[in-house]
Amino acid sequence: MLTCKQCGAQVEENMKHCTSCGAPMETPSQQKEQIDISEKLTQLNNTADTTAEYDAQDIEKNKVMAVLAYIIFLIPLLAAKDSKFARFHTNQGLVLFIGGILSSVIAAIPIIGWIIAPIAGIIITILAVIGIVNALGGKAKELPIIGKFKILK
Ligand SMILES: [Zn+2]
């Protein structure tokens, strides 16, 4: 027996729709697919966390700079030069900024660019949000996809 997600009724396994409310039933394979996707997302965000290498005082003092790194990377680059923690996030903010420039260049290519650029824009935005959340949480955790690129030494 399967349980209807909509109304909670018990439904025979071979039914495509709930016999009680008519909602489409998820087959066990579809349920498994959803688990796979969330597992993959977890794996994608399972990047190196180097927080332990940073000074707790540095993190506490420069959290705001680390957040700014994803908005206007020039500010922490100039104002928090000596902060290892701010530099970690400035580096990622800079990579995202370059990614943003590249995607606006790609956007000039007819059709292909018009498809790729908005997707790249969404990915960059999501990564920036993850970066800001990490910075606020005082974490020096690499971002998925771009975390391996190191521009600043
Ligand atoms: Zn139902």
* Measured CA angle at 52 (ends 41, 74), to 5 deg: 75
d(CA 142, CA 50): 8
Ligand 1 center from residue 9 Cα (angstroms): 5
Residues, CB within 5 angstroms of ligand 1 (ion): 4, 6-7, 9, 18, 20-21, 23
Q: Residue 39 Cα, ligand 1 centroid: separation in angstroms?
A: 27
Q: Encode pLDDT of 23-78 as tens digits.
A: 998 766 666 677 787 788 788 888 999 999 999 999 999 999 999 999 998 899 99
> How many angstroms separate the alpha carbon of residue 32 from the centre of ligand 1?
20
How far, in Å, from the CA of 11 to the mean position of ligand 1?
8
Q: How far apart are CA 89 and CA 146, in angstroms?
A: 12
Instruction: Tell how far the Cα of 1 is from the centroid of ligand 1, in angstroms.
Output: 13
Q: What is the pLDDT of residues 80-132, one digit of tens each?
A: 999 999 999 999 999 999 999 999 999 999 999 999 999 999 999 999 999 99
Q: Which pLDDT band, with edges at 50, 70 and 90, does 2 fall under?
A: confident
Write down the H helix ranges in 54-153: 56-68, 74-79, 84-106, 112-136
Q: Please give the model's pTM, rounded to 2 decimal places.
A: 0.73
110 alpha carbon to ligand 1 midpoint, in Å? 47
